[in-house]
Chain A
């Protein structure tokens, strides 16, 4: 299951770095593509950074009772922006750009399932698939526009052992 989560994140991260190299965030003193798995960050991490995609993993369940069941797992991608100007008057446009970038990095909706806990990284010979992100209504609070998008990933659970 961890391999699926890691593979999904790495695919989106690498696609974002290619799509928009300027979409970066400074975290822990390092500049990196602005996409973060929240549970992988230090527990003392500061508040969510603007213009950055935050991945949160949710419910996971097996879809059949075979020895290698198909697994599905929920993922929420949260992000917010205050625009690029002091007045925050372009926050809607910036949010649209974030929406578009999320849609683009989620396509194609699959990637190779890789085991990143081994060195070198091992190809597990399968794919991870996911649904297109379903974007919830955005919330505009105090000049900040927030959005959450939900998607479901699917994979064969052969990496359980």
Chain B
């Protein structure tokens, strides 16, 4: 019985991940470039002191939906970026990150077209024990 429930929950997580990817693709998901540090081991002190890190890595991520948010006067343009968890799996493995959230929170920037955005916040959608969607708030 327990195995059946566990299996059902796991399958539910897989379904959510695939559904998120499918929905984003169906609504015209686009491609972004995720720029991450080439040296994930650089410690916080070195980063804050401006000590050189070892370059950067760039990953093409799709499907992604970019939604520009209305900005108040004197505020930077912001965007909400919806990323299917499944579309980050390759980048997570290649970068050595332990999760999609870690990868996004440590990313240096998102490049969309000719615009370079800084990540301000990351929200996670999870179901069935799996993360299926990341909502990134980014600032131009």
Bound CA span A46–B119, Å? 10
Q: For A46, give its contact among B44, B47, B76, B108 (CB under 8 Å).
A: B76
Q: For B48, give its contact among A26, A37, A45, A142 (CB under 8 Å).
A: A37
- Give B116 Cβ to nearest chain A Cβ, in Å: 6
Interface majority SS on B: helix, strand, loop or mixed? mixed
If the complex has contacts A44-B118, A46-B139, are A30 and B49 also in contact, measured as CB distance less than 8 A? no
> Judging by beta carbons under 8 Å apart, are B50 and A29 in contact?
no
Query: With an 8 A cutoff between CB atoms, is B122 at the interface?
Result: yes
Chain B contact residues (Cβ within 8 angstroms of A): what range?
20 to 34
Query: With an 8 A cutoff between CB atoms, is B51 at the interface?
Result: yes
Count A-B contacts at CB 8 Å: 49
A-contacting residues, B31-76, CB 8 Å: 44-51, 74, 76
Query: With an 8 A cutoff between CB atoms, is A32 at the interface?
Result: yes
Chain A contact residues (Cβ within 8 angstroms of B): what range?
20 to 34
A 42-71 to B, binary, CB cutoff 8 A, 1 in contact else 0:
101111000000000000000000000000
Q: Please indicate which of the listed interface residues B44, B46, B118, B119 has the most CB atoms of chain A within 10 Å of its own CB.
A: B118
- Give B83 Cβ to nearest chain A Cβ, in Å: 14
Bound CA span A26–B119, Å? 9
Bound CA span A9–B119, Å? 25
Query: With an 8 A cutoff between CB atoms, is B120 at the interface?
Result: yes
Bound CA span A47–B74, Å? 10
Which A residues are in CB contact (< 8 Å) with B119?
A: 28-29
Query: With an 8 A cutoff between CB atoms, is B105 at the interface?
Result: yes
Q: For B120, give its contact among A13, A26, A36 (CB under 8 Å).
A: A26
The residues of A with any CB-CB pair to B shorter than 8 Å are: 6, 9-10, 13, 26, 28-30, 32, 36-37, 39-42, 44-47, 116-117, 142
The residues of B with any CB-CB pair to A shorter than 8 Å are: 44-51, 74, 76, 104-109, 116, 118-122, 139
The 6 tightest CB contacts between A and B, nearest first, are A40-B50, A29-B105, A46-B139, A29-B119, A6-B49, A46-B118
